[in-house]
Chains A and B, each alone.
Chain A
């Protein structure tokens, strides 16, 4: 592709082209070493195991061996999942003749978390002979827009916020609607709410891949047992427990909003969780869609309830100081005082497990664990997030890969490829016994619980100038400057794009 148009350039550099061609003749031996220009016509298993690493091959040799190790063990040990072969036949039937093709995928997930993803594509490659080229970048959200607009879109992108999906569909028109096979998979294996978050204008564009549960309060089971505290089951009990702990002179809560250029996002999760609990999921939907103002009285009530915790110098900030220290405490370090007894509870998502130092026992009777942030005791609202796989091409191999990603086979392969935990999906076909980490298991069970009412992180659904802008700023000044709930929300409402 680059070759022909590159010649165009060369022609313009008249004085130099002759020389360059001489050099190129000398270097032509190396062409065969370029995987992207010469895809293998047939891809037996051992070769393809190296294929996912071709995009990363020069950066890490370990991925190559990791990939082959997974593929080697996949076929015999895969017998635990009965559908293991069925999915492959289905994909092959729907998308024949795609062997030897390749699919590029672009995500925000970087090393070392990218390796399980790369490994989880191996069964797909083994089945179809399609090579998957993986690339991760932490600045994904800005880069994907540039790539799509400049005509260099990847085949598949993992989009971390539905709001970004909306932007890409609405503004660029380059996102390709999901094929029927994906629509079918979603109907079968996912809660309808997830399909809605992957849709724009009533059309499904992206299927969910990873998921996380945000309605968690981290605590130390050991410390709770020693002190005789019980895990609260309603919001009122949570308040009572907080008061009990505060009465001992200790600060029951710790929190941290600092996250570099994204400072403030943990604060948005607090408010969202409380909106779900004090106003309910219907109001929540109206709120993020801006059918009611951002500073609707019901939202003010929710933020006031948050303020009872985060603006309360008897409650926060265990191990760090007063409420204003929340703004400058890095979110990754905010929960660490749980381990030293300087703090008792820390509201943060399931993925926070990765922030505890190596050797920390994360389990129901271990050093740390999390309980579900309770509601009124009868309903069970769940706040969460996740990524969605959107396609920028309708080539059959791309659609086959999309289909694979939305199937239980991929979720299970991914779970198997993530031995250290820290990942789960909302796929109902996910075998939770494959999840390595108790907190992942708990999260998956909450997501699969029919009683749960799942709602996606509202800040990811709002226009990014609010959801990744003024909302962060507002929540940060809420804790730092002790601004009251009404004016915090009024400021954010004023910034909503007209």
Chain B
């Protein structure tokens, strides 16, 4: 069974992939067969449909989350012996005492630049979804059924296909600065400024402006997501609806606001929600391009920084909980949207 659990050769790897798919299909088939009876009670059906998901999520996400919440109330300290040195176990690790308190939260909320970090996070979670969705929507509407639609869509989609790490490389060649007199620019944005007779700007020098320039990178990536989903939604608007509106004399902007927007409402909510959560979690861009500048930090980058140091791991748990709380408004908004939809359905 080595080929399945530790494949080495190319053939084994492909074989193990096929086997994995087959196992999955067989297991799911068995489950569905068991609940497929028309007379099966709905709780059994729900268990069959949801069982695997619940197990996966409970083990993979819920349990670690509970542990994280638990840890966020913990602080640990070394046990100090009479010789003023830490006391060691037989395996040479240091004995620690754990106490439960609100110290992690206290240190987060008394952090002098917490307000700025929260502010930056809010900017990200508001600007990224709104702007990316707006751009994706406008673009999708304009190019809809135009001659170059496929090509035009691909252009906006390309950034989606690039990893966050790749994005940081790409944008270096946009934002890079050299303000030595007469030096070559290697960033196109600064070269552009030079061409029109201005001085180059250090885009990534920190502060609010840099946050905006980093948000632009995220918008650049995510507009493709918005465009793809919204474009598909626009195409799902029945021809008759549009025709009827046209007969009523709607055109241009009116058609857009009266017909298009309401028809794709739920797609808009989906896109906004997904992008907002993505923006809340985004740390790669800030980490890779922020030049260790605390003024552009967001909660997710603080979390990663704390998480990677043994001394601040508990602190990072508290930040993860804060992140969790920040997503609640989005959850509530979605639940309310769902309720509304339920009523009209």
Contacts and interface: CB of A to CB of B under 8 A. Distances in A.
In the complex, are there CB atoms of A and B closer than 8 Å? yes
A292 B176 CA distance: 39
A481 interface: yes
Contact of B9 (A3, A30, A318): A30
Given A169-B93, A463-B311, A473 B292 contact: yes
A6 B1 contact: yes
A420 interface: no
B288 A16 contact: no
Nearest to A473: B292
Contacts of B183: 319-321
Contacts of A142: 308
Most interface-central of A30, A172, A203, A324 (chain B CB within 10 A): A30
A464 B292 contact: no
A472 B29 CA distance: 55
Interface stretch (A227-235, A256-264, A450-458): A256-264
A275 B278 CA distance: 44
Contact of B26 (A10, A15, A172): A15
Contacts of B238: none
Contact of B310 (A58, A167, A472): A167
A16 B308 contact: no
Contacts of A15: 26-27, 29-30
Does more than half of chain A's interface fall in helix, strand or loop, or is it mixed? helix
Nearest to B12: A30
A497 interface: yes
A58 B6 CA distance: 13
A365 B311 CA distance: 48
Contacts of B328: none
A31 B205 contact: no
Contacts of B30: 15
Contacts of B27: 13, 15-16
Interface string B268-308: 00000000000000000001101111100000000001101
A177 B306 CA distance: 29
B8 A34 contact: yes
Contact of A476 (B5, B15, B292): B292
A363 interface: no
Interface in A118-170: 141-142, 145, 167, 169-170
Interface in B301-329: 305-306, 308-312
B11 interface: yes
Interface residues of A, number: 69
Contact of A319 (B11, B180, B294, B305): B180
A468 interface: yes
A497 B23 contact: no
Contacts of B10: 58
Contacts of A6: 1, 4-5
Contacts of B5: 2-3, 6
Contacts of B293: 327, 473, 476-477, 480
B303 to A, nearest CB: 13
A6 B7 CA distance: 13
B291 A33 contact: no
A171 interface: yes
B308 to A, nearest CB: 6
B224 to A, nearest CB: 24
A171 to B, nearest CB: 6
B266 interface: no
Contacts of B2: 3, 30-31, 34, 37
Interface stretch (B82-90, B213-221, B239-247, B336-344): B82-90
Given A16-B26, A34-B8, A468-B309, A327 B291 contact: yes
6 contacts: A145-B310, A173-B92, A464-B308, A465-B312, A476-B291, A480-B205
Given A257-B292, A328-B291, 10 more contacts: A15-B27, A23-B4, A27-B12, A173-B91, A203-B92, A260-B168, A320-B183, A327-B293, A463-B311, A468-B309
